[in-house]
Amino acid sequence: MTTPSTSCCCCHIVPPHLLRAIANSEEVSETTRQAAKASLESRDKYSSKRKELFDRLTRPRGYRTPQGSPSASRRRSIIPDTLLRHLAHSSHLDDEGRARAKRDLDHLTQVLQGVGTAHTSEQVPLADGQKNEVKDRASRAVYDAENNFDEYELPGKLVRSEGEPNTGDEAVDEAYKNIGTVLDLYKEHFNWMSIDNESADVISTVHFGENYENAFWDPERRQMVFGDGDEFLNNFTGCIDVIGHELTHAVTEHTAPLNYWGMSGALNEHISDVFGIMVKQKVQNETAADADWLIGEDCIMPGAKGTALRSMKAPGTAYNDARFGKDPQVGHMKSWYIMADDNGGVHIFSGIPNKAFQLAAVSLGGYSWEKAGQIWWKTMNSGRIPPNCTFRQFADVTIEVAEDFGRDAPAKVKKAWAAVGVMDKVRRAPGRCTGL
The structural domain count of the chain equals 2
Q: Quick one: pLDDT at residue 150?
A: 81
User: Cα separation of 421 and 332, whole Å?
Assistant: 6
In a domain, 342, yes or no: yes
Q: 28 to each of 34, 324, 339, 397, how far by Cα in Å?
A: 10, 29, 26, 52
Question: 22, 41, 58: which is the final residue of a domain?
Answer: 58
CATH number at residue 331: 1.10.390.10
Going by C-alpha positions, the residue among 288, 287, 279, 286 that lies closest to residue 296 is: 279
In a domain, 389, yes or no: yes
Q: Using DSSP bridges, classify how beta strands 215-218 and 76-77 pair: parallel, antiparallel or unpaired.
A: antiparallel
Q: Is the pTM of this model over 0.95?
A: no
Q: Quick one: pLDDT at residue 158?
A: 95
Q: 293 to each of 60, 93, 274, 322, how far by Cα in Å?
A: 35, 30, 10, 24
Told to judge if 246 belongs to the known catalytic residues of this protein, a careful annotator would answer yes
In a domain, 8, yes or no: yes
Annotated active-site residue in 246, 253, 269, 297: 246
Question: 58, 82, 106: which is the final residue of a domain?
Answer: 58
In a domain, 176, yes or no: no
User: Cα separation of 183 and 380, whole Å?
Assistant: 18
In a domain, 222, yes or no: no
Question: 28, 58, 88: which is the final residue of a domain?
Answer: 58
* CB-based contacts of 125, cutoff 8 Å, min separation 6: 131, 132, 201
In a domain, 281, yes or no: yes
- Domain holding 25, by residue range, is 1-58
C-alpha 429 chain-centroid distance: 24
Q: Quick one: pLDDT at residue 91?
A: 63
Rg over alpha carbons for the chain, rounded to the nearest Å, is 21
In a domain, 132, yes or no: no
In a domain, 4, yes or no: yes
User: Cα separation of 316 and 328, whole Å?
Assistant: 5
Going by C-alpha positions, the residue among 100, 116, 380 that lies closest to residue 227 is: 100
Told to judge if 92 belongs to the known catalytic residues of this protein, a careful annotator would answer no
β-pair partners for 161: 141
> What is the pLDDT tens value at each position of the chain, 436 positions in all?
333 333 333 222 222 322 344 455 565 457 544 544 543 353 343 333 322 432 343 344 444 444 443 333 445 555 555 556 656 666 666 676 666 666 666 655 555 444 333 333 344 444 433 444 446 778 999 999 999 988 788 899 999 999 999 999 999 999 999 999 999 999 999 999 999 999 999 999 999 988 787 788 887 788 899 988 876 678 889 999 999 998 999 999 899 989 989 999 999 999 999 999 999 999 999 999 999 999 988 887 665 556 888 999 999 998 887 766 788 999 999 999 988 878 888 989 999 999 999 999 999 999 999 999 999 999 999 999 999 999 999 999 999 999 999 999 999 999 999 999 999 865 444 434 332 2
- Please, is 155 exposed, middle or buried when counting C-beta atoms within 10 Å of its C-beta (0-12, 13-18, 19+)? buried
